[in-house]
Amino acid sequence: MPGAFSVGAVLHWEGFVFHDGESANKFLMVLGAKQGSDYLFVVATSQQHKREMTPGCNLTPSTYYFIQGGKKDFFPKDTWLILDEPYIFAAAKVVQAGLQGQLTVRGNLRLDVANAARNCMKHSKDVAQVYLDLL
């Protein structure tokens, strides 16, 4: 499964477990996928939750990347990539989730959009070095 996707891949993870222990079926985007490294994922949501609808990089009050739905990109609905709450997973966990049928590749964002989201994370005021190393 690790070779099956790269930066910009949109995956669906059934029973995805958030940092707070809650779980839900979620779309994720691969933000970092370097050979021999862990994977860096960000959650994609169609729930606005007081976020602006300004296309592209938004750095305040939290860091997210907004993609208008129904345009040239994968998402049919308006979607926010939550860049200030990334997830790191070892390749073994990603493979295991894939083999168990929990994780499936659903599509890809255009490379320019994926790279713009990566650059947005790089400009976040609170991004940890461990995440930057995986970009």
% of the chain exceeding 90 in pLDDT: 76
Helix, strand, coil distribution of the chain in percent, nearest 5: 20, 40, 40
% of the chain exceeding 70 in pLDDT: 97
- In this prediction, residues 13-17 reach a mean pLDDT of 96
Nearest to 24 by CA among 33, 13, 34: 13
Number of domains in the chain: 1
Q: What is the pTM of this model?
A: 0.91
pLDDT of residue 2: 41
Range of the structural domain that residue 85 is part of: 2-132
Euclidean distance between the first and final Cα of the chain, in Å?
A: 19
- In this prediction, residues 7-12 reach a mean pLDDT of 95
Q: Answer for the pair 102, 13: CB distance below 8 angstroms, yes or no.
A: yes
Contacts of 35 (CB under 8 A, 6+ apart): none
Report the CATH number that the domain containing residue 113 is assigned in CATH.
2.30.30.110
- Asked if residue 107 has pLDDT above 70, the reply is yes
Distance CA 35, CA 38 (A): 8
pLDDT tens, residue by residue, 63-94: 999 999 988 888 999 999 999 999 999 988 99
Q: Could you write out the DSSP letters of every residue in 78-123?
A: -EEEEEEEEEEE-HHHHHHHHHTTSEEEEEE--HHHHHHHHHHHHT
Mean pLDDT of the chain, nearest integer: 91
